[in-house]
Structure 1
């Protein structure tokens, strides 16, 4: 969404108009990585008593419009706080993320006036409907680059194969190879192959295979001394896993602090929370409303 220079039938506070001779509205926007997600920090600087009164009285809010043209993502964030944090899933954005800032009326304003109006408007009042823009801030463009070694990309460090031992009916994990080998019983493997041809099932398949395998590997590493962990450093899976933990989650696999990690929680974060996506897919597929308390 590009902010266009626009004329309104009432005064609007902006950098490109003189509707207000005094006052200012600006927003500092900082986007930082939070694992695979993005944390957008908003800090609003509003110098206008009349608009500040609207915010305090609940008749207006700070509104941030986020849009990514490449993915088609679009959302609106509303708040009455000058400091606000919004967590954005890395799955929904790629390339350029545009963020526009506004103050918007949330209730009808009857007889709105401001001492900061231009002299042409002094002494006048305006009836402004809910949803109308009261102030326009700057637009910020953020470059969103994605890590090609994202562990949610299953082929990166996992290899799912059939177990040649037909007597084994359980999934097994082998972490002694270049990649982490997930061995499935024969019938499960062929079921996996059929389902993996449908992209919408990926989150379910990852929940059934990759997630428990990753929990197993993390628990095994926790049980080793730091020196013994580094003995796997020549394998692809260890390089990718340790690099992702360090760069995305500030977690050093070769430190004592790693022993305090909850492996189940960490594994879900590493592969972009497939359990949540699985429940979303299943509830939508079967027409069931999710989120209700039993």
Structure 2
């Protein structure tokens, strides 16, 4: 289940360049590590990394009605697990029988009871947000982590986080790519990232967005990997790419020789171009034309 920004309209976290009007851009991050421990089970370690959040809105002994929430969704079989915690660090076990394929993880801060919080920027360090009493109803989501994190849990017991991340970077002109051993990042400026956040998950638009920004990112990552710019031994995404290519009888050395960069990208992303044109056909046949 996607957590929509419109359901947590509270200006309580912010990026460095954000102000009250930009609260929808407000996010915090979290880390996730998944390891197979045998018997079809996985151990997940999660740690929330809140920033710019006043202590009055953080879970703890002083705020017993505020909790951290972790929501884990298995998209393949529609299985969901929710875990509530007073600590930003959490370790728990997932049953591999219920979590298969693409698994999404959301983290957020929420209320278990109605609360009132008196915010004072002179003492709370929350300047540019709000001064005065803010009421949070029971079950209110105070802040949400972005981006949603994804794990790919394969039937052979190997679990990896989706390495492609779409992030906001106000220093770029429109779009840029950052490829490193840990992540493949697509960096969008404020305007483009806001449009992406609002519309990219629409079923009609998802395949077009994938081909417009994800395909180039993966292509660049494959090229960097093939050219030796990535340390494969210390990169989970690189190992996953190589394994996936090998499943299709493609060796890394083949790329640029017997196999084109475009072909390798299609394999890794499960034929995104074909999916896009099928969606375009569906779009046209349904009479959705100008």
Q: Same fold (TM over 0.5)?
A: no
Highest RCO, 1 vs 2 (Cα 8 Å, sep ≥ 6): 1
TM-score range, shorter chain: 0.3 to 0.5
For the pair shown, the structure with the greater C-alpha radius of gyration is: 1
TM-score (norm 1): 0.44
With normalisation by structure 2, the TM-score equals 0.44
